Amino acid sequence: MSIQRLGRVLSCAPLALALLVLTPAQAPADMLMFTHTGSGSGSLDGDPFPMSDFIITAYVDTDDRQGFSSGWFIDHLSASISIEGVANVDFLTATRHFVNNSAQLVGFSRAGSSGADLFNGPSHPDFGTWDMLGPIGPISGTGYLLQWTNYDVHTTGGILVFADGSSDAVFTAIPEPATLGMLVVGGMALMLRRR
């Protein structure tokens, strides 16, 4: 391949990347990464912490999606929480995310069909039709921490407890980064093959 031709191909790579990222419907992913942010006070392994921002990061396989009367849920393959100034820990208690289409609400809870809710919200009309099979967000609104004291939530740093309360919340679902990387590489390879 000549230097000039290689230059033309590489000059199109950013466009291909942009098209792949901006058109997720063309490349549905089986693996999604959820991020869910909020803030709250509580304790980790018995040590109290003040109001702190947190981010929950969870990975799911959309093939594991299950239905319930008002929407869908997917148990996590793995989930972790980063609490600013406190710790970064993995959840040992099984967890899930759910969408209640009737209430137009997303949430984080214990795993399984009857998992007790832990962080509900935000609410948004887009959640009325989201089927948890593709990307959504970021969607912001109000989130509600609840039921952390009803049952122990085990993490690699000890038992995590949040006090009931509300805070700003943001939820995002995107293709899991490794999957997204494969889509980009595949798209670039297809462009090279066509040229």
| 124 vs 102: CA distance, rounded Å | 11
Q: How many CB atoms lie within 10 A of CB 188?
A: 17
Do the domain assignments include residue 124?
yes
Q: Are 116 and 110 in contact (CB under 8 A)?
A: yes
For residue 95, pLDDT over 60 is answered with yes
- Asked, for residue 10, whether it belongs to a domain, the answer is no
Stated pTM of the model: 0.77
Q: How far out from the chain centre does Cα 154 lie?
A: 20
Query: Any idea what the Cα angle at residue 22 is, between residues 95 and 17, rounded to 5°?
Result: 105
How much is the pLDDT for 114? 86
Question: pLDDT per residue over 32-44, tens digit each?
Answer: 999 999 999 999 9
Specify the DSSP element, H or E, that contains 194. helix 177-194
pLDDT value, residue 138: 98
Residue 72 has pLDDT above 70, yes or no: yes
* Domain contains 142: yes
Higher pLDDT pick, 126 / 15? 126
- Count of domains forming the chain: 1
User: At residue 117, does pLDDT exceed 80?
Assistant: yes
What single letter denotes the amino acid at residue 163? A
25 is a domain residue: no
Q: Is 34 helix (H, G, I), strand (E, B) or coil?
A: strand
Q: Which domain holds residue 127?
A: 30-194
The reported pLDDT for the residue numbered 108 is 98
- For residue 45, the one-letter residue type is D
**Weakest-pLDDT range from 18-27, 56-65, 76-85:** 18-27
Burial class from Cβ neighbours inside 10 Å (0-12, 13-18, 19+) for residue 168 reads middle
Higher pLDDT, 16 or 95: 95
Mean pLDDT of 176-188: 55
CB 96 within 8 A of CB 109: yes
> Which residues does 73 contact at the CB level (< 8 Å), separation at least 6?
65, 66, 96, 97, 98, 99, 109, 113, 115, 132
What share of the chain has pLDDT > 90, as a percent? 72
CA distance 107 to 133: 16
Task: Copy the structure tokens of residue 43.
Answer: 């304790």
Query: Does the residue 23 lie in any domain?
Result: no
pLDDT, mean of residues 147-162: 96
Would 9 be classed as within a structural domain?
no
Residues 65 and 56: beta-carbon distance below 8 Å: no
Report the pLDDT value the prediction gives residue 178, as an integer from 0 to 100.
66
Tokens of 72: 């869908």
Q: What is the pLDDT of residues 12-32, one digit of tens each?
A: 444 444 434 444 443 445 999
In a domain, 73, yes or no: yes
Phi and psi at residue 64, in whole multiples of 5°?
A: -90, 5
Residue 61 in any domain: the answer is yes
What's the average model confidence in pLDDT over 154-159?
Answer: 98
